[in-house]
Homo-oligomer: A and B are copies of this chain.
């Protein structure tokens, strides 16, 4: 049972650099894309604004699902824990418990409603800040489970989870995106961007992003809140 999959896909879009590149790659590969952003009560609402800008420029429909992860707590991104400014060993406090598992599950439900055989997610195992749910073995196990979870699974089809960034460095992601015409000034990666979507320049995510532009020898179009 390995039926030909259709070219319809849900694309998880956070509004950051990685997911904007993932969307561009899915479109470049000829997929009919339906973007899904998850509002999990993150402190940086500017992410959702970025998702809106990115999809409206590329004429892709955007669905936003709200899930209040603050109710279960446990992360600097949803709670009143300070966002760290130094890359530390191990799993950082910005890790949102089961975040990718929850986001993929919502994407799975949406894919089932759309009759889409595919999900694109911009996880990355290279510059991944130590998140357990960005590893290839996790994605493989998720796909196995998803194949059993849905009507499609019962009927012999199965969802394919695409992770085009998983083995790319941040510099390689940026180079691919630039080739595909991604406007990175629209994206927000910062863990604590201000209400205008301007980045702090000092959190983990900003540091990884900055370094990516530097290594790719591409001018960083990020709007920073101050010189940093």
Q: How far is the CB of A142 from chain B (nearest CB, A)?
A: 5
A150 / chain B contacts, CB cutoff of 8 Å: 97-98, 132-133
In contact, A144 and B141 (Cβ under 8 angstroms)? yes
A72 interface residue per 8 A CB criterion: yes
Task: Report how many copies the assembly holds.
Answer: 2
Contact B109 A105 (CB under 8 A): no
Q: Which of A39-78 contact B (CB under 8 A)?
A: 63-69, 71-74
Q: A98-B105, A99-B109, A138-B149 are in contact. List 15 more A-B contacts (CB 8 A).
A: A65-B68, A65-B69, A66-B71, A72-B110, A74-B112, A74-B113, A98-B149, A101-B109, A102-B102, A102-B105, A132-B149, A132-B150, A132-B153, A133-B150, A138-B148
Indicate if A87 sits at the interface (CB-CB under 8 A): no
CB pairs A–B below 8 angstroms (28 shown): A36-B72, A63-B71, A65-B68, A65-B71, A66-B66, A66-B67, A67-B68, A67-B106, A69-B109, A72-B110, A74-B113, A91-B151, A97-B109, A97-B112, A97-B113, A98-B106, A98-B109, A99-B109, A100-B149, A101-B109, A102-B106, A133-B150, A135-B148, A137-B148, A138-B149, A141-B144, A141-B145, A142-B149
Query: How far is A180 from B65 in the complex, measured between Cα atoms in Å?
Result: 39
Kindly state the separation between the CA atoms of A105 and B112 in the bound complex, as whole angstroms: 17
Query: Which of A155-205 touch B at CB < 8 Å?
Result: none
**Interface residue A12 (Cβ < 8 Å from any Cβ of B):** no
Cβ contacts under 8 Å, A63 to chain B: 71-72
User: What's the nearest-Cβ distance from chain B to residue A37, in Å?
Assistant: 10
Please give, as numbers and ranges, the residues of chain B lying within 8 Å of A106 by CB-CB distance.
Answer: 67, 72, 98, 102
B contact residues around A153 at 8 Å (CB):
132
A95 at interface by CB-CB < 8 Å: yes
Chain B residues closer than 8 Å to A67, beta-carbon distance: 65-68, 106
Chain B CB within 8 A of A35 CB = no
CA distance A104 to B149 in the complex (A): 12
